[in-house]
Amino acid sequence: MLTVFLTNCRIIDPYNHKDEIGSIYIKDGKIEGVGPDVPEPEQCPKLDLKGKWVSPGLIDIHCHLREPGEEYKETIDTGTMSAVAGGFTTICPMPNTKPPNDCAAITRFILDRARAVDRARVLPIAAITKGQKGEEITEFGDLISNGAVAFSDDGVPVKRANVMRLALEYSLNFDCVIISHSEELELAGNGVINEGKMSILLGLRGIPNAAEDIFVYRDIRLAETTNGRLHIAHVSTKEAVKIIREAKERGVKVTCETAPHYFSLTEDAVDGYNTLAKMNPPLRTEEDRLAIIEGLKDGTIDCIATDHAPHSILEKECEFERAANGIIGLETALPLGIELVRNGQLSPLKLISLFTKGPSMVLNLDFKGFKVGEIADLVIIDPEREFTVTPESLYSRSHNTPFLGRQLKGRAIATVYHGKCSFDLDGMLSSCERRS
Amino acid sequence: MKHLLGIRQLEREEIEAILRQAEAFKEVLERPIKKVPTLRGKTVVNLFFEPSTRTKLSFEMAAKRLSADTVSISKSMSSIEKGEDLIDTVKNIKAMKTDCFVIRHPATGAAHMIARYTGCPVINAGDGINEHPTQALLDCFTIKEHFGGFKGLRIAILGDIFHSRVAHSDIMALKKLGAECVVAGPGTMLPPHIEVLGAKVEYSVKKAVKGADCIICLRIQRERQGGIPLFPSVREYANFFGLYPEVLEFAKEQAVIMHPGPINRGVELDPQLADSSRSLILDQVTAGVAVRMAVLMMLLSARETL
Ligand SMILES: [Zn+2]
């Protein structure tokens, strides 16, 4: 367990609405003191973290770990390594594994693997419908009893409105959130990128914003009808932000997330048939990008999720139309978020809140932030640290990211999960750890 | 110019250079011995993953007129669906020491992909719904031969603009050369944001044709539409979107008609008009060989000087 006195750090704790310079005393993995005037303990390793941020461990409520089924892309082992390298101590894998996580046996398998690795908290999201086929809802009760934290058919929308309605109604019994992958499939058609300037210039079939907007409205309307809790995954359009904002104003129980690529990139990134920028929903226009940032600022968007979607080179080095959707994101999310801070669009506290308290509230998690007596769960961030994204620099098993070759600024330099150091870029914490 | 992937990647000067070179080759085609030794010893591989007798023949003819050897591979869609790896196939062929790939493929960007993964020059002979640059170049060649230039010309393109790579390439090429371009067709076949390419959109064919110097009719490809039909019937299409004498009335008196072929006679184009003195359709076919000779020569001899 870790014993260390972190001092001179900027403590950013959205759970307790604090952003102050102070110290954190961790003893045997537990927080013994936190704040501006914690006395320095005797005979304790001390780390001066001047200029660094210390935040509760980040939470990603939307990622893909590919195990079971596609271990050549990612495993729970490599995926959690990628997570802690990105500052995340809690991650929620989506159920579209092979087979999909639609029954307690699979949920248990994932949890067992995660426990064996013991590097980060893995909270599985189970499928809404059996086999993610959109027909019959899964055993919500049994799945929750076995460790599932929410339900989603991510990867595919629940096509039939009545099935979505049933799921929202049934969720009331278990007070769980239903996560919507909002995509009107017929409108999306054979589209592979945003319908707009680039779809014309590249001669690729486009997906109109309306494909997302219509579905967002449908599910919000169903949440309103049922009083169920709805969460919209990977919001990418201006209109969707507006629909969600209005629904929140009239009291609908709806939350949503966006992913870093939707506030960092536009459709221009696919030029040259760059399959590394192919994803679903597709990268949109500058207007949409700015609306997403606006939604983050005004609280319409509750959290930033990575939608970490590993794919091997086999799925990406092919004709654009055949290439798989998705990019990895666990290790680039924080630096891309910090870019918003540097641009003056978000305060550090707001940004960290989108990565911690925001997702925690969506999932009703019982996290308290930095409190004396709690097990240490935190990340040390150097907002000035620069690094170049290269295949060698990534911990994920896959390297499918449009940020390859880009220099990013700001990153997690150490991550503490469950009182132990699970990532230590410069080896600064290793001397403070005592195995017990 | 290392590859010919699309008109989008070409500068105006490059297009003009190709047209000039094609002019010289057209003259060769008029000679009793229609062959020059320019590409002797070179091997051009035609990779056609989509059926197209005309384009394939035209490329083969062009290569042979330049004394190059040609190999043609036609693959049906089914073998691609079986998971045949395009990059791998091409790398294997390249390992047999070939000099140039001409590729037609149902997936947009396929030619770009091959260009990225092999060092060989690549000519895009049509990719998905994206581009068909040599068709656009031969259309421009035909227009230039007829009118002498492009300045002040109004060109109307009629039909399925959405699925037509010819339309996409034509618009970009004509725009770069200084002509005005207007498109018309059923609303379902006019892609949103087409104005990005520099074309004006008209919903009335008569309006589009009004004052036009040249009208390019596109082939209706019902097989490309999949699922829901994009227009109610062939009869309705012919009545409202085809080029017939009463529509042609609206164009300039000397206006000419073009068509990338093969024509659905009586659908997009009146059968008699297709054969009339105003039709440049066969000139386009001749221009095709000359333009493709020009492109092959420019790509392959440019490599020589490296
Ligand atoms: Zn999704």
- Identify whether residues B23 and B107 lie together within a single domain: yes
Quote the pLDDT of residue B75. 75
> Is residue B2 assigned to a domain?
no
Residue B86 confidence class, pLDDT cut points 50, 70, 90:
confident
Q: Tell me the CATH number for domain A58-362.
A: 3.20.20.140
Q: What sign does the dihedral A298-A301-A303-A304 (CA atoms) show?
A: negative
- Cis? peptide before A99, omega within 30° of 0: yes
**Which of A200, A205, A320 shows the shortest C-beta gap to B193?**
A200
Asked whether A279 and A309 are in contact (CB, 8 A), the reply is: yes
Find the residue in B nearest to A199 (Cα). Answer: B193
Give the integer Cα–Cα distance in Å for A123 and A62. 10
Contact A321 B131 (CB under 8 A): no
Give the integer Cα–Cα distance in Å for B54 and A308. 46
Number of domains in chain B: 2
- Identify whether residues B144 and B209 lie together within a single domain: yes
Q: How far is the CA of A155 from the centre of ligand 1 (A)?
A: 4
Tell whether A371 is within 8 A of chain B (Cβ): no
Please report which helix (H) or strand (E) contains residue B184, including its range. Answer: strand B180-184
Quote the pLDDT of residue B76. 67
Q: Which residues contact B11 (CB under 8 A, 6 or more apart)?
A: B176
Q: Which residues contact B258 (CB under 8 A, 6 or more apart)?
A: B139, B142, B143, B214, B215, B216, B217, B279, B280, B281, B284
pTM of the shown model:
0.91
B243: domain range? Answer: 133-280
To the nearest 10°, the Cα dihedral for A111, A117, A120, A123?
-10
**Residue A268: C-alpha distances to residues A90, A211, A252, A271, B9 (Å):** 32, 20, 35, 6, 16
To the nearest 10°, the Cα dihedral for A178, A351, A424, A432?
-100
Nearest CA to A62 out of A169, A176, A160, A180 is that of A180
- Identify whether residues B151 and B272 lie together within a single domain: yes
Quote the pLDDT of residue B224. 60
One fold for both A4-54+371-432 and A58-362? no
- Identify whether residues B137 and B271 lie together within a single domain: yes
Three-point CA angle B132, B19, B11, nearest 5°? 65
Judged on CB neighbours under 10 Å (0-12, 13-18, 19+), B285 is middle
Give me the total of CB pairs closer than 8 Å, taking one residue from chain A and one from chain B. 67
Residue B117 confidence class, pLDDT cut points 50, 70, 90:
confident
Contact B108 A320 (CB under 8 A): yes
Give the integer Cα–Cα distance in Å for A36 and A21. 6
Phi/psi at A232 (5° precision): -95, 125
Quote the pLDDT of residue B226. 64
pLDDT tens profile A146-195: 999 999 999 999 999 999 999 999 999 999 999 999 999 999 999 999 99
Low-confidence ranges of chain A (pLDDT < 70): 434-436
- Identify whether residues B154 and B289 lie together within a single domain: no
> Is residue B1 assigned to a domain?
no
- Identify whether residues B266 and B297 lie together within a single domain: no
| Chain A residues with CB-CB distance to B85 below 8 A | 318
Give the integer Cα–Cα distance in Å for A78 and A92. 14
Q: How is chain A split into domains, by residue range?
A: 4-54+371-432, 58-362
Quote the pLDDT of residue A160. 97
Statement: residue B306 has pLDDT above 50:
no
Statement: residue B305 has pLDDT above 90:
no
Statement: residue B81 has pLDDT above 60:
no
- Cis? peptide before B245, omega within 30° of 0: no
Please report which helix (H) or strand (E) contains residue A35, including its range. Answer: strand A30-35
User: Chain B neighbours among A 254-273 (CB < 8 Å)?
Assistant: 272-273
Residue B79 confidence class, pLDDT cut points 50, 70, 90:
low
Quote the pLDDT of residue B281. 97
Asked whether A32 and A52 are in contact (CB, 8 A), the reply is: no
Judged on CB neighbours under 10 Å (0-12, 13-18, 19+), A310 is buried
Tell whether A200 is within 8 A of chain B (Cβ): yes
Tell whether B86 is within 8 A of chain A (Cβ): yes
A37 is catalytic: no
Quote the pLDDT of residue B232. 84
If you average pLDDT over residues B242-251, what whole number do you get? Answer: 96
Residue B89 confidence class, pLDDT cut points 50, 70, 90:
confident
- Percent helix, strand, coil in chain B, to 5, is 45, 15, 40
Nearest CA to A339 out of A269, A289, A281, A396 is that of A289
- Identify whether residues B106 and B222 lie together within a single domain: no
Distance from CA of B34 to the nearest CA of A (A): 36
- Alpha helices by DSSP H, listed for chain B, are 12-30, 53-65, 77-81, 86-95, 110-117, 133-147, 165-177, 205-209, 234-241, 245-248, 271-275, 281-304
CATH number of domain containing B260: 3.40.50.1370
Find the residue in B nearest to A271 (Cα). Answer: B109
> Is residue B202 assigned to a domain?
yes
- Identify whether residues B250 and B146 lie together within a single domain: yes
Judged on CB neighbours under 10 Å (0-12, 13-18, 19+), A98 is exposed
B245: helix, strand or coil: helix
- Alpha helices by DSSP H, listed for A237-283, are 238-249, 260-264
Give me the catalytic one of A307, A377, A382, A424. Answer: A307
> Is residue B191 assigned to a domain?
yes
Please state, for a pLDDT cut of 90, what percent of chain B lies above it: 82
pLDDT tens profile B188-225: 899 989 999 999 999 999 999 999 999 999 999 766 66
Quote the pLDDT of residue B84. 64
CATH architecture of A4-54+371-432: Roll (2.30)
Asked whether A97 and A122 are in contact (CB, 8 A), the reply is: no
Report whether A62 belongs to an annotated binding site: yes
Tell whether B201 is within 8 A of chain A (Cβ): no
Give the integer Cα–Cα distance in Å for A316 and A402. 11
**Residue A66: C-alpha distances to residues A75, A257, A284, A317, B209 (Å):** 6, 21, 26, 19, 56
- Identify whether residues B43 and B113 lie together within a single domain: yes
Contact A204 B87 (CB under 8 A): no
Statement: residue B78 has pLDDT above 60:
no
b or e along A392-422 (b: 16 or more beta carbons within 10 Å of the residue's beta carbon)? eebbbbbbbbbbbeeebebbbbbbbbbbbbb
To the nearest 10°, the Cα dihedral for B62, B63, B65, B70?
-130
- Identify whether residues B54 and B191 lie together within a single domain: no
A58: helix, strand or coil: strand
Asked whether B184 and B202 are in contact (CB, 8 A), the reply is: yes
As a residue count, chain B comes to 306
pLDDT tens profile B145-198: 999 999 999 999 999 999 999 999 999 999 999 999 999 999 989 998 999 999
Residue B87 confidence class, pLDDT cut points 50, 70, 90:
confident
**Which of B8, B87, B128 shows the shortest C-beta gap to A201?**
B8
Tokens of B286: 């001749």
- Identify whether residues B103 and B186 lie together within a single domain: no
**Which of B108, B113, B193 shows the shortest C-beta gap to A203?**
B108
ipTM of this model?
Answer: 0.85
